[in-house]
Amino acid sequence: MLNKIISWLNDFFKDRNFMKLIHITENLVSKVLSIALIIVIFVSIFDLILVLSQDLFVQEPVGFFNVTLIEIFGFFLNVLIALELLENITVYIRKHVVQLELVLTTALIAVARKIIIFDTSKYDKVDLIALGFATLCLALSYGIICYIHKRKV
């Protein structure tokens, strides 16, 4: 009995079998993440519709929107970022490769969202400079990756 267990463990930890287990785990985790992200996208869309409908039809309007337009843009960009993350996961499931251009695009959108909804009363100007620097670094990284890919083609 002990010999069978040792033999099974020995077979299990051979490189090929172990890599198969890792591959199965990666697929399972990426599919669970996709499902969770789809739920987040629909909840975000519902939240956006709720905020828009409440602002347009329920509350006394102060201007066209009671909630600032910047906050509404933030809701839209949240959905866009979630869609980009879903695309990242989908590409990984299909090709088993992390697409660096797609990751950088998602990061740029996330930083741009933060800049768009930036509230100067809550944060210091240094924080805005840091976001600008992050945007510059991400844009340069994206440009380098695109340049390298164009040279290979």
Question: In the prediction, which pLDDT does 37 show?
Answer: 94
Find all residues with CB under 8 Å of 132, minimum gap 6, and list them. Answer: 115
Question: In the prediction, which pLDDT does 17 show?
Answer: 78
Asked if residue 114 lies in contact with residue 92, where contact means CB atoms within 8 angstroms, the answer is no
Q: Which residues of 59-97 are buried (b: 16+ CB within 10 A; e: fewer)?
A: eeeeeebeeeeeebebbebbbbbbebbbebbeebeeeee
Residue at 117: amino acid letter = I
Taking the C-alpha atoms of residue 88 and residue 131, their distance in angstroms, rounded to an integer, is 23
pLDDT grade for 36, boundaries at 50, 70 and 90: very high
Domain region containing 122? 2-152
**Number of domains the chain is built from:** 1
Counting every residue, how long is the chain? 153
Is pLDDT of 67 > 70?
A: no
Handedness of CA 100, 80, 36, 131 (dihedral sign): positive
Give tens-digit pLDDT for 119-150.
Answer: 888 888 899 899 999 999 999 999 999 999 88
Taking the C-alpha atoms of residue 95 and residue 105, their distance in angstroms, rounded to an integer, is 18
Question: In the prediction, which pLDDT does 63 show?
Answer: 59
More confident residue, 143 or 51: 143
Q: Over the chain, what is the mean pLDDT? A: 86
Q: Percent of the chain at pLDDT above 90?
A: 39
Closest C-alpha to 146, from 107, 104, 89: 104
Find all residues with CB under 8 Å of 146, minimum gap 6, and list them. Answer: 101
Is pLDDT of 16 > 90?
A: no
